[in-house]
Structure 1
Amino acid sequence: MNIEGIELEVRCTGDVCSDALEFLRRHNHEKTAEHSIRVKKAAEELAKRFHVPAQKAGIAGIMHDISGVIPNEKRIAAAEALGIDILPEERIFPMIIHQKLSKVMARDLFQVADQDILDAIECHTTLKKNPSQLDLVLFSADKIEWDQTGTPPYIKELYEALEISLEHGAFVYIQYLWKQKDKLKVVHPWLKDAYYHLKAIIEA
C-alpha cells in the first residue's frame, strides 16, 4: 500500500501483534511501538476484569495507533485517498483522524477482519455514542497509558471510577476534556455524543 508517497509494506507472519510492532519499528516509530505495547497490556487486563475477550482487546491495543507512521500533515490527504469520511473537525485538527486511518490500515494491511476490533480502533481517541464494551476497554486503556510525558492528571479518578464500571471510567477522561472544551482546538462530534450518552447512564 502506498499512501501519499509513503510505501507501507507488512511482513505477515501470522502473528498480527508481532507484525504490527515490527512494522512500527521498521518505520522508525519505536515510541509508538512502546506505547502500543503498554496499551495492549492495559487493554487485556481491563478485558479480563470486565469479561471482554482479551485477545480482541490485545489486538485492538497493539493496532490502535498503527497509522502513526503517516505524518500529521499528510493524514487528511491519506484519508481522502482511502475513501474515509472526513468530518469538518478532523480537517481542522488532523491528528484526530488517525483513529479512522488506523482502522483501515488494520483491516487492509494486517487483515484484521473482526468488526468489533475495527470499531474499537476507529473510536479509541474520541469514543462515540453507544460504545461497545470493547470500545470502552480500548478507550480507557489508551487513556491509562497515554502517550505523553508525566502522570495523567485524571488517572486517580479514572482508576476509582473503574471500580464501578467501564462507563464510569471512560466518563472521567471525557469529563476531563469537557471541562476544558473551550480551550480545545475542536470538539469532535463523536466525543460530544459520548459525553451525553455516558452522562445519562451515570446520572441514571
Structure 2
Amino acid sequence: MHDYEPLVRGWQKTNDVASDAQSLLCLHGCEHTFFHSKRVAHEAARLANVFGVDPQAAMTAGYLHDISAVYPNQVRIEVAESLGIEILPEEKAFPMIIHQKISKAMARDLFSIKDSAILSAIECHTTLKTNPSRLDLVLFVADKIEWDQTGTPPYVQQLIPELEKSLERAAHVYLSHLWEQREKLRVVHPWLRDAYLDLSRGTSYVSEGGECI
C-alpha cells in the first residue's frame, strides 16, 4: 500500500480541484506543470463544448493529468509498484511514461475522483489507447495542443485543420508524428502503437456528418 503522507504533508486541501492541484504542485516546486495543466484544462473544456463532451469533466481531467509530476522520474517505478499499478516493460525502460498511470491513481486517491471516464482520460493522456472515449480524445488532443515544452509544437499546423473534421483525425496527426520517428524514440509504448494502428485503419473515425466509417 502506497503511503501518500510524506507527499501531502503541509498540503491544505479545499476540495476545489484547480486550487488543490495548484497548491500540491507548487508545494513540490512544480509551478511549470501547474501552468501547463491549467492551459490544458481550459483547452480541454473548450474542445469538450465543441464535441459534445462534459466540459467540467474535461477541465477536471486537465488539471489532474500531470499531477504525478510531484514524484521525480527516478522514483516513479517504485511509486507505481507500491500503488499496485501494472508496469509494462516499456514503462520500466522509460519511467516518464508511467506518470499517466500514477496521475490516475492520485486523482482517485487524493482528489476523490470516482468518474471512470475522467480517470480513463488521465491514464492514457500521453499515449492514448485503442477504442478511446470522447473524453480520452479531448484530453489527449488538448495536451498536445498545449504542450509542456517551449515554442510551437512541430505538428500543430497539421493538427488544427484535422481537428475541424474530428477529434480522431487530430489525434492521428500527433500519433503519426511520433510513429514516423519511432526509430529515434527511447521506447514505443504498446498503447500508443495500438492507438496509431487503430486510427490508421480508420476504425474510430467519424465522418463530418457524424456517421461512423
Supply the distance in 1 between the matched residues of 2:166 and 2:142 (Cα, whole angstroms): 14
Which consecutive segments of 4 or more residues in structure 1 shift more than 6 A?
A: none
2:157 alignment counterpart? 156
CA distance in 1, matches of 2:6, 2:158: 40
Write the letter of the residue equivalent to 2:44. A
Q: Does 1:175 find its partner at 2:141?
A: no
Structure 2, unpaired ranges of 5+: 207-212
CA deviation profile, 1:133-183 (whole Å, cap 9, x unmatched): 000000000000000111000001110100100000000000000000010
CA shift, 1:2, in A, is: 3.4
Distance in 2, matches of 1:165 and 1:159, equals: 10
Structure 2 residue aligned with 1:126: 127
1:6 Cα deviation after fit: 4.6
Q: Is the 8 A contact 2:58 2:135 kept in 1?
A: yes
Looking at structure 1, the residues matched to 51 and 114 of structure 2 have their Cα atoms a distance apart, in angstroms, of 23
Q: Higher relative contact order by CA 8 Å / sep ≥ 6: 1 or 2? A: 1
Please show how residues 3-152 of structure 1 align to structure 2 within 5 Å.
6-9=6-9, 10-152=11-153
- Contact 2:37–2:62 (8 Å) recurs in 1: yes
Q: Which amino acid aligns with 1:72?
A: N
Kept in 2, the 8 Å contact 1:16–1:110? The answer is yes
Deviation larger for 9-18 or 103-112: 9-18
TM-score of the pair, normalised by structure 2: 0.92
Matched AA of 1:17: A
TM-score (norm 1): 0.96
Q: Percent identity?
A: 58
Distance 2:123 2:83 in 1: 14
Residue number in structure 1 paired with 2:194: 193
The verdict on how the C-alpha distance between 1:93 and 1:6 changes in structure 2, with shifts beyond 3 A counting, is farther
Which one is further off, 192-201 or 135-144? 192-201
**How many matched pairs?**
203
8-17 vs 71-80, which moves further: 8-17
Q: What RMSD in Å do the two structures reach over aligned CA positions?
A: 1.5
Indicate how the Cα distance of structure 1 residues 6 and 76 shifts in structure 2: closer, same or farther if over 3 A, else same: farther
Counterpart secondary structure, 2:192: helix
Q: Which amino acid aligns with 2:187?
A: V
C-alpha separation in 2, matches of 1:7 and 1:90: 22
